[in-house]
Chains A and B, each alone.
Chain A
Amino acid sequence: MISYFMKRYAMSEKGAINLKKAIFSHIFVNLTKLFAPMIAFMFLFQYIGILKGIESYNFTPLHYVILIIVMMIVMFLVARWDYVRLYTNVYNESANSRIDLAERLKKLPLSYFGKRDLTDLAETMMNDMTLYETIFSHAVPQIYATTVSTSVIALMLIIYNPKLAFAALWVIPVSLLIIFLSKKSQKKIVQSWIDDNRKVFDDLQEKIEQIEQIKSYNLEERMLNDFFTKLNMSTKQKTKGEAAAGIFTGIATAVLKLGIISVAVIGVNMLMAGEISVLVYITFLMLTTSIYLPIEGIITFMSMIIMLDAVVGRIKEIKTMPIQEGKKHMEIKNYDIEFKDVYFGYDNYSVINGVSFIAKQGEITALIGSSGSGKTTLTKLAARFWDIDRGKILIGTEDISKVEPETLLKNFSIVFQDVILFNSSIKDNIKIGKKDATDDEIVRAAKIARCYDFINKMPEGIDTIIGENGQRLSGGERQRISIARAVLKDAPIILLDEATASLDVENESLIQEALSELIKEKTVIVIAHRLRTIRNANKIVLLNAGKIEAIGTDSELCKSSEFYRAMLEISNIR
């Protein structure tokens, strides 16, 4: 049962055990709910017995009052017991799931983080947990507990009087069957509803991101119409889903009400035939008004369960994403990076097709090639942003696919164009490079990275808060902070996007100076855009369509590669 819960609701083992406990205590709550009807029936039996001259029991009013008080206290205690258990477990489980999610996100390959969807997914899932809480406090335990307690009541009725019990109970399986049969089509509707919703979301996002183009080409009307069409379609789908769910629930609940007739009619015949006493008959008649209520409850909870499936689906989606783990310790002989016949592709689209070369420690290895040739991808593979499809990448003698990314990345400084900054002070943003850096070290790194001229202009100097994702800084300033981080980190391997050096005209030479200091005596792989910049490199790897076209120093390539000469020629025009 526990392993079923774990699988069905994507729960932890502890969560599943707690769910089982919650169901157990809720069964008791359901059973204590029978106390009040019991008192009612005792009273009716006693006094209708007197009226009809049927032998019954004889309690005094005092007995009743004492019994009622005892029952209320028991009910209260059971309800409180259940309440505390239920909510403690639900909120703990939800907190655990959130933490688990956060942990898991951390282990995803770095490549996943470029995508907008991941942030969205994570945010949605954090919010999902609120829904999860509601469903697990209000629906799931109730469904299981009600099933059990209703079965207990049904069993009691069957023992008491099988014929009348069947007259009352036959509608329950019929009604549940209807729900069961409709569940598949309901699920389909809900799924297409979720998909359509997603489309509306994505479409709006795209439109906002494209707002500059929309405006400059006067596409407002067209884009609005386009969006409204998608929205209308989604709403139509939702309305359809809501109506279908309503109708199925309606039919299923209406069927339950037929039980009233069958009990009344069969019962009156039995009464006249003398098979049952009038007391039994009245009991069953009155029961028909309340016995179906829990089943109706289950039926309405069903829609919540379908929602839950979507939540569970998302949890499973995250759980199926590849996580990267590995050794927490690296045996490092040297910092040479070796690519051995590496193949890699995204979504069946191959990007790297059999690349082999070595980037030596203390040397600069430049990757060149037209856009789309795979230079950036190759660099990112070295830092295990993705895991490769075939081949091997070694650092020293270690296969990087066997090393935990965090351990691996301790050896890397990555200076790319997309700099991620946090909403804290400049100092804290630089300090990320080395957690235990002293203020002096930070200032030194900031100076090496030529950050000091702009830091001095800030109202609070190095303690100035820079806004969400560093909004208040210019592109060049951001680059220099990322270089300062790298300087502070002082890692043996540097991955560098040369465009970083040329993002901002006025800062360009400053950044270049900083870079020159950064890369001294390291293993450097640089993605080159301007050939002139990297002609001094120890090794130039010329890529074309994911393959190595030529490899060598500048003078070697000038001799051997026509491709290289052509590229050189074009870039020398300027």
Chain B
Amino acid sequence: MKSKKKSILKRLLPYGGKKSVLLYIAMIMSAVSGIMVLMPMIFIHRIVKNLILNEIVDSAYVRENSIYAATFAGLGLFIYIIGLILSHVFAFEVEDNIIKTSVKKLINKPLGYFDNKESGKIRNIIVSGASETHSFLAHQLPDMAMTIISPIVLLVFFFIFNWKLGLASMVPMIIGMILMSAMMTPEAGKMKDEYYAELSELSSQTVEYVRGIPVVKTFAQSVESFDKLYSLIIKIKDDVLKLTMSYMNKMSWFETVSTSTAFFLVPVALLLIKFNGNLSNVVANSVIYFLIGPTFAVFIMRTATITQFSYFAELSLNKIENILDSDDFIYGDKTSSDVGIEFKNVSFSYGGENVLDNISFKVNKGERVALVGMSGSGKTTVARLAARFYDIKSGVIFIGGINIKDFEKDALMKKIAFVFQNSKLFKMSLRDNLLIGKPDATDEEIDSALINSGCKEIIKGLENGLDTVYGTRGTYFSGGETQRLSIARAFLKNADIIILDEATAFADPENEHIIQESFKKLSKNKTTLMIAHKLSTVIDADRILVMEKGKIVEEGKHSDLIAINGYYKKLWDEYQKSVNWKIGG
């Protein structure tokens, strides 16, 4: 990926949009507050110096300087907090926009994209990933501005106050930095990477573990799968302890030295007194360095975490980009009033072997065509391609006489009603769920859709009828009920082309009967393509396409196909056998 070469900040800034300016303001404010925080020391120093050098105590001078000291301290704080709030606003904007652009990209992905991805995983990568950028932008960057400004401030101090003492007061800071960089060895970096990898491994293994518990319980195999997780947890602990303990001495020296300005300042001051003589001057000047020295160490400490957080931010952003990195469809601008479906020399693969091998067929207006075959024969793929889940590499698919790739996006979907095996409802009222099919549907239309899909009794059993909100507490819909409601929605949509993917697989016999009858009624003047699993439902189809290994091997009406005594006959016999099977019989 090209973008990987860019620094993480450069990649994040575009998401901030106009609010990026807030980051700069926040950084400047943070730097300014860094200076302000030092000001009280100067005023206190002035009082102390005055006390040391003068015999008479000037109380007005003391009061004035102490008020300045407190004011600057308060002001510094105020500026720092305003800066932080601004940087947070910016960071939230970035976070939001990462989520928004990603979700927008996501929702416009072709349906095939979602086939092999877990919804929870996509969600976590996007939403949690975006929040990983937060700390880096809101805290670490402004703090870094404060750290960067400190050498400049120190330089100014060197001019105003004794520079030799200044240098001595810098020793802890320099040692601190050396220790910090000594901790960032390549080996430590490698260990860190390993540790982070193990943490994300822990996430996926936890998911697998929890998913497996039912199996583990039902087959009484607790030890093994638990052991795998257990040893990973222990490994993580051991590795992080090893890493942490490799810092033991350096961190302890850092703790000892970084804020202990006096340890280095006092010996130098003693030397200066011995060889230079000006006692009062040395003492007065050392006071200022006693006061400011420890502050710089605090600044360094704050920046120490920046590499870690920028690493997290980069990692998350890469993950988001990776998961969204796939080809998007290009849509045309055509529409059509014709309702036929035609496949012309279509071959297709999901990456490996061809699932469809040079298929051609046509479904005309008013026809009900069924696809029949073993799983893996390609019948589901045909249905999905007809709704453009994927784009094909060779051959052409025409919908209403127009190449499916030239269709305007919304127009294609308006044209097709696709009823899935596992249709779901949205968390809104049942009425609103149905209205999705046709926003301006009248009550009569809704009613007839409910009757046609065998939903009437479901609604009758509900206290709030159609106003029941799906998915709220106390409402319980079985798989079959949900499926019928989504069929009602498809009826309302009243599209020209109907594609049924084992639409009644979970329906009870009585409801299946109602629904199948309704589908027949509905299909007048329309085109219906149905994938059938219960062969009894395809007997009266206008045409049956029998598929085997990606090819259409037989084609015709039920009676004709039976008469041929070929592959379809074999399937039919098998089906009869299974229908007549009795448990324990």
Contacts and interface: CB of A to CB of B under 8 A. Distances in A.
Given A489-B219, A512-B578, A208 B66 contact: no
B213 A106 contact: yes
A400 to B, nearest CB: 14
Contacts of B532: 505
Contacts of A200: 127
Interface in B146-174: none
B208 A422 contact: yes
Contacts of B88: 239, 242-243, 246
Interface string B472-506: 01111111110000100100010000000000011
Contact of A409 (B218, B230, B251, B287): B218
A61 interface: yes
Contact of B584 (A83, A469, A529, A537): A537
A523 to B, nearest CB: 12
B420 interface: yes
A115 B453 CA distance: 28
Given A281-B51, A285-B44, A533-B581, A95 B255 contact: no
Contacts of A422: 208, 212, 215
Interface string B409-430: 0100110111010011011000
Contacts of B251: 79, 83
B21 interface: no
Give the top 5 A-B pairs by smallest Cβ distance, nearest first: A264-B66, A36-B260, A371-B478, A506-B374, A40-B262
B528 interface: no
Interface string A93-128: 011001100110110101001001011101100110
Contact of A216 (B52, B208, B417): B417
B185 interface: no
Interface string A35-54: 11111100110011011100
Nearest to B71: A257
Given A268-B63, A420-B214, A432-B219, 15 more contacts: A29-B255, A35-B260, A64-B267, A75-B260, A80-B248, A84-B245, A91-B244, A95-B236, A246-B85, A250-B81, A253-B77, A257-B73, A346-B476, A507-B374, A571-B509
Contacts of B199: 127, 130
A354 interface: no
Interface in B107-141: 107-108, 111, 114, 116, 119-120, 122-124, 126-127
B376 interface: yes
Nearest to B534: A505
Interface residues of A, number: 174
A9 interface: no
Contacts of A475: 375
B273 interface: yes
Interface string A276-306: 0010011001101110010000000000000
21 contacts: A43-B266, A43-B270, A47-B273, A64-B266, A72-B260, A91-B241, A119-B120, A119-B207, A208-B106, A212-B423, A213-B424, A217-B413, A217-B437, A235-B95, A268-B57, A268-B62, A286-B48, A371-B481, A406-B220, A570-B509, A570-B513
B418 A105 contact: no
A227 B214 contact: no
Interface string B86-120: 00110010011001100110111001001010011
A512 B263 contact: no
Interface stretch (A146-154, A334-342, A496-504): A496-504
B418 A536 contact: no
Chain A residues touching B, majority SS:
helix
Contacts of A246: 81, 84-85, 88
Interface in B24-66: 40-41, 44, 47-48, 51-52, 57, 59, 62-63, 65-66
Given A204-B127, A243-B85, A371-B481, A254 B77 contact: yes
Interface in B526-585: 532-536, 571, 574-575, 577-585
Contacts of A476: 375
B444 interface: no
Interface stretch (A156-164, A179-187, A218-226, A438-446): A218-226
Nearest to B375: A474
B313 interface: no
B581 A536 contact: no
Interface stretch (B7-15, B278-286, B333-341, B361-369): B278-286
Contact of A220 (B108, B217, B269): B108
A503 to B, nearest CB: 8
A532 B413 contact: no
A217 B432 CA distance: 13
Contact of B99 (A231, A267, A271, A434): A231
A130 B237 CA distance: 11
B119 A208 contact: yes
A265 B66 contact: yes
Nearest to B100: A228
A471 B115 CA distance: 10
A238 B91 CA distance: 11
B303 interface: no
Interface string A233-247: 001001100110011
Nearest to B291: A289
Contacts of A215: 111, 413
A435 B413 contact: no
Interface in A323-352: 346-349, 351
Contacts of A531: 509
A249 B81 contact: yes
A219 B88 CA distance: 33
Given A122-B206, A508-B578, A405 B217 contact: yes
B252 interface: yes
Contact of B410 (A218, A383, A410): A218
B530 to A, nearest CB: 13
Q: Which bucket holds chain B's interface residue count?
A: 35 or more
Given A113-B213, A257-B70, A261-B66, A208 B114 contact: yes
Contacts of B375: 474-476, 504, 506-507
A123 B237 contact: no
Contacts of A432: 215, 219, 221
B47 to A, nearest CB: 6
A412 interface: yes
Contact of A530 (B244, B410, B436, B509): B509
B151 to A, nearest CB: 21
Nearest to B577: A509
B77 A216 contact: no
Given A43-B269, A264-B62, A432-B215, A231 B100 contact: yes
A102 B122 CA distance: 24
A159 B62 CA distance: 25
Given A68-B267, A116-B120, A126-B206, A574 B536 contact: yes
User: Of residues B81, B374, B479, which shows the largest number of chain A Cβ atoms within 10 Å of its Cβ?
Assistant: B81
Contacts of B119: 205, 208-209
A70 to B, nearest CB: 11
Nearest to B457: A370
B564 to A, nearest CB: 19
Nearest to A108: B213
A33 B261 CA distance: 11
Nearest to A467: B116
A177 interface: no
A509 B280 CA distance: 104
B476 A126 contact: no
A218 B40 CA distance: 63
Contacts of B116: 471
User: Of residues A231, A258, A506, A570, which shows the largest number of chain B Cβ atoms within 10 Å of its Cβ?
Assistant: A506
Contacts of B414: 218
Contact of A72 (B244, B256, B512): B256
A268 B533 contact: no
Contacts of A260: 40, 44, 66, 69-70, 73
